[in-house]
Amino acid sequence: MTETYGVSLADGYPRLRADIRRNLRRGWRELAADGLDAQVAFVPLAADPELRHEITAAYLARAAAAGRPVSLDGLTGAWETATEAAVLRTGGKLAAWLLAAPAPQAYRVLGGQMVPGFERYRPGRILEAMTLARAMLAGWDRVDWGPGHPESLIAVS
């Protein structure tokens, strides 16, 4: 069952679309082919103050790589609400991140990005799938991806 502003987990794990499953397989296959592994961690922001600097640097690098003007407005707003960061590292380097504000009614994702240079491994998709799994296993009934996130890319009802 897909809700308007998030993915409901009340009826069990959401079924991922075929193209998302294919992208996840490709990402894991590319990591293995390059002899890399991926580590995913869900880190309380209070426990790792340096993580904020690392994520901000990655955010700025992605904007610069895309030739976009740099604005920290969206990231600043997310930092004010976030209590947790999910990070995917490969080869010890940050490859993708997302900021979240877990709440009793939903696991709220505030935003996230893939770090330039890791595109072929699809770290953003892997991190999104791991976030869904974490929410389900931790007992949340709903993942709220926030406004503008195409939740239909993640799950189908």
- Residue pLDDT, tens place only, 129-143: 888 888 878 888 888
All structural domains of the chain, each given as residue ranges with its CATH number in brackets, are 2-156 (3.40.630.30)
Query: Helix 49-65 vs helix 73-81: angle between axes, to the nearest 10 degrees?
Result: 160
- Residue pLDDT, tens place only, 68-112: 887 777 677 787 888 999 999 998 999 999 999 988 888 888 888
Give the DSSP letter string of 108-135.
EEEEEEEPTT-GGG-HHHHHHHHHHHHH
d(CA 29, CA 4): 33
Type and span of the H or E element at 24? helix 18-33
Instruction: Report the pLDDT value the prediction gives residue 4, as an integer from 0 to 100.
Output: 29
Tokens of 80: 């004010």
For tokens 């998030």, name the residue: 6
Structure pTM?
Answer: 0.81
